[in-house]
Amino acid sequence: MSAVRVQKPNFKDQMEEILFACKKKIAEAHRNYQKDLSDVSEEVKDAIDMLALDKPFS
């Protein structure tokens, strides 16, 4: 009988690939968010800021 070597998966490489994919998706989502925000009028941005400060439409 001959011995068969089983190659252990390289978890470090797999983890780095997953982290890279996550970072790429986060960067893309952030770019899309910034683009969407730039399309919003100043009045809406002010309203969002006021809501974030918990001071609606003062």
Give residue-wise pLDDT tens across range 8-41.
878 999 999 999 999 999 999 988 888 887 777 7
Residue 21 covered by a domain: yes
Is residue 58 situated within a structural domain?
Answer: no
Model pLDDT, residue 18: 94
How far apart CA 42 and CA 58 sit, in angstroms, is: 16
Taking residues 42-58, what's their average pLDDT?
Answer: 72
State the residue range of the domain holding 20.
Answer: 16-52
pLDDT of residue 54: 73
Q: What is the mean pLDDT of residues 28-55?
A: 80
Count the residues in the chain. 58
Count: domains in the chain: 1
Confidence of residue 56 (pLDDT cuts 50, 70, 90): low
Q: Tell me if 31 is assigned to some domain.
A: yes
**Token duo for residue 4:** 């068969």
Q: Is residue 4 part of a domain?
A: no
